[in-house]
Amino acid sequence: MNYHWNWDIFFQTIPSGDETYLMWVIHGLGWTVAISLAAWVIALVLGSLAGILRTVPNRRIAMIGDVWVEFFRNVPLLMQLFLWFFVVPELLPRDLSLWVKQDMPAKEFITAVLALGLFTSARVAEQVRAGIQALPRGQRNAGLALGFTQAQTYRYVLLPMAFRIIIPPLTSEFMNAFKNSGVAYAVGVWELVFVSRQMVEETGGQVIESLLVPTVLYIVCAYAANRIMAVVERRSHVPGFIVAK
């Protein structure tokens, strides 16, 4: 292949100012990490809640969790992002709608975090439910027999074990949060995919360099997430209880 390599593009100054493209990439990495971490917090909190709801004995309450999971799990992520960005503001009263569309600070970032957080929450919910249901039924009964309420049974008996069981799939989900954050470019967040696409254009088609560097940074982010979760797994390990290494 007759490709004209040029790694110097990262040290070139952008046409409109004093930054280099390397600064752009670092800036983009910052937004990618910010979106992913913020979305992960939302996903973990709401996902745990929805997952727990799905396992409670009361069918009506469990239904709320079911609907939550089925909606956020069965609609494509990009579609959810566009729903939040283009559709939801139109449903608001006119003045509020205009404020959201034009003046709300960091509107693209907030929309992206919300969309990614809710999407991921459905997946976390399924893992939490699976973790709880993987426990022998006697555990719940034992808790209740000891005089715990349902809430106390979850808090002191079921969840401490369930969360330990699901650390490996949660690790994958945490890594997915980083990888899925790339869709945020579609609403205009200046993150890694955005930077990569813009660099391809502005450098006159240095596609390979512009794609490789963000790719490597995604690998670094996802792998860092993996290592963090490995530490969590080791620290929270209970001797004699499942997946002992």
Partner 1 sequence: MKKLHALLALSVACSVGAASAQQLEGTLKKVADAKAITLGIRESSFPLSYLDASQKPIGYHIDICNAVANAVKAKLKLASLDVKTQAVTSQNRIPLIVNGTVDLECGSTTNNLDRQKQVAFAPTTFVTNVRMAVKKASGVTDLDQLDGKPLATTTGTTSVQLVRASEKGKNLNFKEVYGKDHADSFLMLETDRAVGFVMDDNLLAGLIANSKAPDAYAIVGPALSVEPIAIMLRKDDPQFKAIVDDTVKGLAKSGELTKLYHKWFESPIPPKGINLKFAMSDELKKLVATPNDNPAESFKK
Q: Does 202 participate in binding partner 1 (rule CB under 8 A)?
A: yes
> How far is 184 from 113, CA to CA, in rounded Å?
8
End-to-end Cα separation, the chain, in angstroms:
48
Tokens of 42: 């939302």
Binding mask 98-137 for partner 1 (x = CB under 8 A): x--xx-----x-----------------------------
> Which residues in 4-23 contact partner 1 (CB under 8 A)?
4, 6, 14-17
Nearest to partner 1 of 174, 190 (CB atom): 190
Span interacting with partner 1, options 38-46, 146-154, 202-210, 215-223, rule CB under 8 A: 202-210
Reference 115, options 83, 85, 81, 91; nearest CA is 81
Classify 13 as helix, strand or coil.
Answer: strand
Give 88's contacts (C-beta < 8 A, 6+ positions apart): none
Nearest to partner 1 of 24, 178 (CB atom): 24
> How far is 17 from 54, CA to CA, in rounded Å?
53
Q: What residue ranges bind partner 1 (CB under 8 A)?
A: 1-4, 6, 14-17, 86, 89-90, 98, 101-102, 108, 185-188, 194, 197-198, 200-205, 207-208
